Amino acid sequence: MVTNPLQGQFAAEVVGLSLPVDDAAFAEVEAAWTRHPILVFRDLRMKPEQHIAFTRRFGPLHIMEPLQYNLPGHPEIFVVSNVEEGGKALGMKRAGWGWHTDGEDKAIPNAGSMLYALELPPEGGDTLFADMYAAYEALPGDLKEKIRGRRACFSRIRLHHVHYPHLPALSEEDKARRPDVWHPLERRHPRSGRSALYIGRWACAIEGMPEDEGLELVRTLQEFSVRPEFVYRHRWRLRDAVLWDNRCAQHCATPFDDSKYHRHMLRTTIEGDAPVMATSPGSSLAVH
């Protein structure tokens, strides 16, 4: 197994990994993931059972809802696909269009996600990843001062119709299960000890600020966090699997002609822990 940097310390390519992995090899992968929030595994031959077993070693797996988009017999695998069979969708179409981190609108956001490419369009369908460590470090002093010690509101209820206009509206039961949540804008990573900007498309207000002022700051942070200098573009190859860290990276799917081409991918999602406010300005790399 060899790890090659793709974009500074943010993204790296892992070549030569085969599943299942022994404890020593997994320790290497886990250490690499702490150094590189985006790990790209090339030409990974992986059955659903192996996909589940491998990602479960990082922590408990999250079962995505609605359940209709999960792989039959394997509820831990969320299907991202525009493929239909017999008039029935095999997965969720146009998932992830728009900058976000998985689960940011939940009380306990997801720690990581691993997406595996089984069918790809000949053009388009790339995934963009934004380095939230770098974005935090590059924030102008006045913006850092504004967000210090503050939390943002992340709301599925307020923004579901904006981000998923092609899906059914939330029911009252859905709303009761997905109340607004508040997370620190300066988030300390539990393994690296570094501070990251924590923002995404479900953010809509900032604690202690008037509504208009808070929304303006949210939009400023959203735009700043995905500047080109922070972004790695992943151009998928067949049997690529990408493991990303939702605690310090945003991602965004890019469009393709889904009326003409197929894109079929499988994702596991790792449960996380409650976001912790960064205790000091700047970032510091803890020793592990």
Q: Are strands 195-197 and 127-131 parallel, antiparallel or unpaired?
A: unpaired
pLDDT tens by residue, the chain, 288 residues: 899 999 999 999 999 998 999 999 999 999 999 999 999 999 999 999 999 999 999 999 999 988 999 999 999 999 999 999 988 999 998 888 889 999 999 999 999 999 999 999 999 999 999 999 999 999 999 999 999 999 999 999 888 888 888 778 989 998 898 899 999 999 999 999 999 999 999 999 999 999 999 999 999 999 999 999 999 999 999 999 999 999 999 999 999 999 999 999 999 999 999 999 996 444 333 322
User: What is d(CA 57, CA 44) in angstroms, rounded to the nearest whole number?
Assistant: 17
Partners of residue 41 on adjacent β-strands: 14, 241
The CA-atom distances, in angstroms, between 59 and each of 6, 125, 196 are 26, 28, 21
Domains, the chain, ranges and CATH?
2-277 (3.60.130.10)
User: What is d(CA 152, CA 216) in angstroms, rounded to the nearest whole number?
Assistant: 12
Structure tokens at 65: 């809802």
